[in-house]
Chain A
Amino acid sequence: GESVGLHLPTLSVQEGDNSIINCAYSNSASDYFIWYKQESGKGPQFIIDIRSNMDKRQGQRVTVLLNKTVKHLSLQIAATQPGDSAVYFCAERDNNDMRFGAGTRLTVKP
């Protein structure tokens, strides 16, 4: 889920394990969603997107799942690596902008 403020949801995984980051979005009419990765001191980096006419999309080591019934989006990262440590944001299209959640901090333990 998402929260507001300095206390980001956190996920800690062992290197090599799979990670699942969850996101609840707000607008049932949203038709386009993106996952971004943000490393410390950098801008958000595009990971993968999905349109509302799909429920699953796969990229390199990443999979996004969309459940429109419960307005839920998830990002699965296979074989998580130390370089995957970052804050992950889901974003939904809202008219002319993308609306972002507060993010989830992923920490990968060696």
Chain B
Amino acid sequence: ETGVTQSPTHLIKTRGQQVTLRCSSQSGHNTVSWYQQALGQGPQFIFQYYREEENGRGNFPPRFSGLQFPNYSSELNVNALELDDSALYLCASSLAPTGGRSGNTIYFGEGSWLTVV
């Protein structure tokens, strides 16, 4: 158990719809990162939030957006869903931003499985 919790665990959406995924970080962790993991591939970085602001973004379009709240929990929002958005969405938390000197380890939740039909 990493202390990172995600909801929902599974959901099915229709192409064109919008989805919100939620994440509670490990106690004491102020940084949350989101990753997309397609079947048979490694996780791909979407973005990172630190102290309620975006602190780095991967190669994902603007319809992928996020929020971080004062308690460090976070949301991932995806608009205009496409079939290729079907994947496992992973949230990870760390004590400080990944890019910091200390190389903070990121701990993952169990993920939210999104299927777009």
Cα–Cα distance between A102 and B35 once the two chains are bound (Å): 14
Can you name 6 extra interface pairs (CB under 8 A) apart from A46-B105, A93-B98, A100-B43? A36-B108, A44-B108, A93-B99, A93-B103, A98-B45, A103-B42
0 or 1 for each of A4-47: is its CB under 8 Å from B? (1 = yes): 11111000000000000000000000011010100000111110
- By a CB distance below 8 angstroms, the chain A residues around B106 are 34, 46, 98
Residue among B2, B98, B103 with the highest chain A CB neighbour number at 10 A: B103
Contact surface of A with B, Cβ cutoff 8 Å: 2, 4-8, 31-32, 34, 36, 42-46, 49, 51, 89, 91, 93, 95-103
Interfacial chain A residues near B48, Cβ < 8 Å: 96-97
**Using Cβ atoms and an 8 Å threshold, which residues of chain A touch B55?**
96
> Which residues on the B side are within 8 Å of A45 (C-beta)?
2, 108
- Tell me, in angstroms, the Cα distance from A26 to B98 when the chains sit together: 18
The interface residues of chain B, by DSSP majority, are classed as loop
Please tell me if the beta carbons of A43 and B42 are within 8 angstroms of each other in the complex: no
Partner of A43 from B41, B97, B105, B109 at Cβ < 8 Å = B109
CA distance A35 to B48 in the complex (A): 20
- Chain B residues contacting A32 (CB-CB under 8 Å) are 103
